[in-house]
Every structure is written in C-alpha cells, then in structure tokens.
Amino acid sequence: MDLWTYERQQWNNGCTALCGVDEAGAGPLAGPVYAAAVILPREIDLPGLNDSKKLTPKKREALFDQITAAAEAYSIAFVTAEEIDQMDILNARMLAMNRAIGGLSVPPDLCLIDGNRDHGSAVAITAPHLCLVGGDGKSASIAAASILAKVSRDRYVTDVLDREYPQYQFARHKGYGTKLHYAMLDQYGPCPAHRQTFLKKWEDKRT
C-alpha cells in the first residue's frame, strides 16, 4: 500500500504542516506510555518505513535515526506509571499524544492519529485531527511516529528500568505481561515501576 495516500489527500485540501501521531506501551504492566508526533517532508524516501510492530528492533533503530534527522519537526513525550494509575490508560494515552503534539516546534495544521479514539473521560486530543484505524500501517506520518514512540520507550525500559530493577529483566520483556515477567513478579513482587492498576492482571494470573 502507498503510505502517502492519506497525506496527499490532506495536502490537496490545503494542509501544509501535516503531523502523524502514535503511542507505544499502552498494554504493559510496568513503565510509562510514550507518544510521538512527527511532521515529515513531503513524500520523503524512507526505505522500509512501516508500522513499528512489523519491523525488527535493528530496523526500527535505523529508521529512528533517519526520521529524526529528516523530519521538519518531531516531538516525543511520555506519561509515567504513576500518572497512568491516577487517570487510567486511555486518558494517559491521550495525554501523552497531547504532550507530543504540544512539543512540536512547528504547529501542525492537522494531526493524523492512529486508532479510533481521540478522548478519554478526562483528556481529549486538542489539536485539529483525524483518527485513522490501523494508521501505523496506512500512513507514512503515523508509521514514523510509531517508530519514534516504540524505540524511545524500548530505550527507556532497557537503559533505565532494567538497570534500576535488574531482577525483573525488563530489557527482555519490555514490561509486557509475558511468562517471564509474571515469573519475576511471582518471585519478587511488584516494584515502583509497575502500574498498580495493571497488577490485577498479575493477580488474576496467579489465581
């Protein structure tokens, strides 16, 4: 599929600063949720650009460097595990995306948002936007944002959480509810990096 189809439609409608937005880390039991917003040059050639989930870690890292070097503007933001516990993950996702959009050095005319949700019970996307279901596999701008968010979160989990709490082996499971992660929780219990509201999944797993 041509990843520039949705961008062309908006450029033809008069948009100039078109921004892709996506988040990473909504599902894990631990760590922050990250979001990224990126404005790419029109139809820039980024070989292999795709939904971050469909790429190898090595390819994501390479594209991260290419995207950040070439982007007209980009911003990466996060919402902490403590904030997630305070507001719930849907509101946290919206807040992370708002923070990423707000951090752009170029105000966007329109944001293409991955997914079908643009608000929670308390937080809504405030910038002009369109939601695109499966957008990380349909839009170059959203795909780029998905890579920036995913790589940034993986780096944080590996470089910070794994070093602070090595017994949990965060670098291996990235905080997701894998068999290994549950085994570490069974052995050590939760640590401050865990989302307390998500630990019911762990408790349910034990019963």
Q: Which residues are annotated as a binding site for a divalent metal cation?
A: 22-23, 114
Mean pLDDT of 62-82: 98
Q: What is the pLDDT of residue 197?
A: 87
pLDDT (0 to 100) of residue 15: 94
Which SS3 state, helix, strand or coil, does residue 18 take? strand
With beta carbons less than 8 A apart as the criterion, state whether 70 and 140 touch.
no
* pTM score: 0.95
- The angle subtended at Cα 95 by Cα 89 and Cα 98, nearest 5°, is 145
CATH, domain range 5-206: 3.30.420.10
**Annotated binding-site positions:** 22-23, 114
Residue extents of the structural domains in the chain: 5-206
Section 32-53 average pLDDT: 96
Residue 30 is predicted with a pLDDT of: 96
DSSP per-residue string spanning 58-122: HHHHHHHHHHHHH-SEEEEEEE-HHHHHHH-HHHHHHHHHHHHHHT-SS--SEEEEESS--B-SS
Q: In angstroms, what CA-CA distances link 182 with 11, 49, 97, 108, 201?
A: 47, 33, 29, 41, 10
According to the model, what pLDDT value does residue 204 have? 72
Residue 200 has pLDDT above 90, yes or no: no
